[in-house]
Amino acid sequence: MKKLLFQFDTDTHPSVFDTVVGYDGGADHVIGYGGLTPDNITPLVEGTIFTRAPKDKKNTAIFVGGSNMQAGQALFTAVQKQFFPGFQVSVMLDSNGSNTTAAAAVAKLATSGTLQGKKAVVLAGTGPVGQRAAVMLALEGAQVSLTGRQMARAAEACANMHTRFGVEITPIEAFSNADRAAAIADANIVIAAGAAGVELLTVEQWCDNPHLEMIADANATPPLGIGGTDMMDKGIDRHGKIIWGAIGFGALKLALHRACIAQLFDDNKQVFDAEKIFTLAKAMA
Ligand code: NAP
């Protein structure tokens, strides 16, 4: 029986990246739908849960993606609300690679040093990757702040993560590189989660920071998020700090994403969101 992955995307066009990884993770066929909301998914979910016998339902799974974390969370919840005993399929949430990217970055940082009790700042953390990275740092016992160019967006991201995970994350308004340098003045750990091709700090703004121990930068599109680093950095020492570049931890992100897809087909009750994906990342790091 063919393994079918239904890619439910909150954006107009389903993510090509997620389609490719769906195949590489072991799906025989990936079927993408765009523009999905909690209001228009009922017939699609019904098509996944009513079509195969109980022993065969494990061969159908749903992947929720898109560029908006809150829209993805709402869609993921709405999909699962359609399930009832005996009629469900495995599901995964990874809006913009949020969970897999954040989990890979935080898991790699954890291999380089202690996160518990450390001060961590997620720069430009209002996007999907930044929000989930902030959550995972908090779950590891770090004191986490998150910056955005506008306080309202930063505060909204923190509130969203508090509602979903019960974690306390402090919002910081930081518009310029200088503002972000001030935001990390007493930080031990920095994750840069800004949009592709946006430099958030110059090398001069972090290299002499006496508190800083570790940096991970998710942005692999030049210019990188953190000046003076290399996207290939794999936990190497620069200016006395451990650096993880976007490709340096990106290999784990891709392996993790593929592993999650593969496990969706183990049975019809898998739920892959931040908690389970982060647990798997730590085992694979
Ligand atoms: P995103 O939503 O595109 O952007 C994150 C935040 O960047 C935005 O919420 C925005 O925050 C801020 N931003 C945008 N333009 C800016 C500017 N000119 N100056 C300062 N801040 C700016 O990002 P994402 O989808 O969460 O992804 C985060 C990063 O991870 C991206 O660079 C992406 O390419 C990368 N990524 C890496 C991997 C990997 O394996 N390494 C995998 C997936 C994604 P405010 O508007 O609130 O300031």
Strands (DSSP E) contained in 28-156 are 29-33, 60-65, 90-93, 119-123, 143-148
- Per-residue model confidence (pLDDT) at position 239: 98
Taking the CA of residue 153 as reference, the ligand 1 atom at the shortest distance is 47
86 CA distance to ligand 1 centroid (A)?
A: 39
Provide mean pLDDT across the span 13-41. Answer: 98
What are the pLDDT digits (tens) for 157-184?
Answer: 999 999 999 999 999 999 999 999 999 9
- Per-residue model confidence (pLDDT) at position 74: 98
Probe ligand 1: pick from 93, 98, 129, max atoms within 8 Å of CB?
129
- Per-residue model confidence (pLDDT) at position 78: 98
193 CA distance to ligand 1 centroid (A)?
A: 5
Provide mean pLDDT across the span 234-259. Answer: 98
- Per-residue model confidence (pLDDT) at position 238: 98
* Mean residue pLDDT across the chain: 98
Element (H, E) at 170: strand 169-173
Q: How far apart are CA 246 and CA 216, in angstroms?
A: 7
The CB-based long-range contact list for 42-45 (8 Å cut-off, 24+ gap) reads 42/82, 44/6, 44/8, 45/79, 45/82, 45/83
Q: By three-state DSSP, how is residue 140 classified? A: coil
- Whether pTM > 0.85 for this model: the answer is yes
Nearest CA to ligand 1 atom 17: 198
Is cis: bond before 210, omega within 30 of 0? no
The phi, psi pair for 113, rounded to 5°, reads 180, 175
What are the pLDDT digits (tens) for 149-158?
Answer: 999 999 999 9
Q: How far apart are CA 91 and CA 102, in angstroms?
A: 19
Probe ligand 1: pick from 126, 177, 247, max atoms within 8 Å of CB?
126
- Per-residue model confidence (pLDDT) at position 96: 97
Taking the CA of residue 253 as reference, the ligand 1 atom at the shortest distance is 40
Is cis: bond before 223, omega within 30 of 0? yes
Provide mean pLDDT across the span 21-38. Answer: 98
> Residue 7 pairs with which residues in a beta bridge?
32, 63
What are the pLDDT digits (tens) for 65-98?
Answer: 999 999 999 999 999 999 999 999 999 999 999 9
Q: How far apart are CA 120 and CA 105, in angstroms?
A: 13
**What residues does each domain of the chain span?**
4-97+252-284, 100-249
- CATH tag, 100-249: 3.40.50.720
Token digits for 167? Answer: 């974690």
Q: How far apart are CA 63 and CA 98, in angstroms?
A: 13
Taking the CA of residue 97 as reference, the ligand 1 atom at the shortest distance is 43
What are the pLDDT digits (tens) for 108-165?
Answer: 999 999 999 999 999 999 999 999 999 999 999 999 999 999 999 999 999 999 999 9
Do 4-97+252-284 and 100-249 agree at the fold level? yes
What are the pLDDT digits (tens) for 190-220?
Answer: 999 999 999 999 999 999 999 999 999 999 9
Domain 4-97+252-284 has CATH 3.40.50.300: no
Q: How far apart are CA 35 and CA 210, in angstroms?
A: 47
Token digits for 69? Answer: 């974390």
Amino acid at 62: I
Binding pocket residue ranges, ligand 1, CB within 6 Å: 96-97, 101, 124, 126-130, 148-149, 153, 193-196, 198, 218-220, 246, 250, 253
Q: What percent of the chain has pLDDT over 90?
A: 100
- Per-residue model confidence (pLDDT) at position 107: 98
Provide mean pLDDT across the span 227-244. Answer: 98
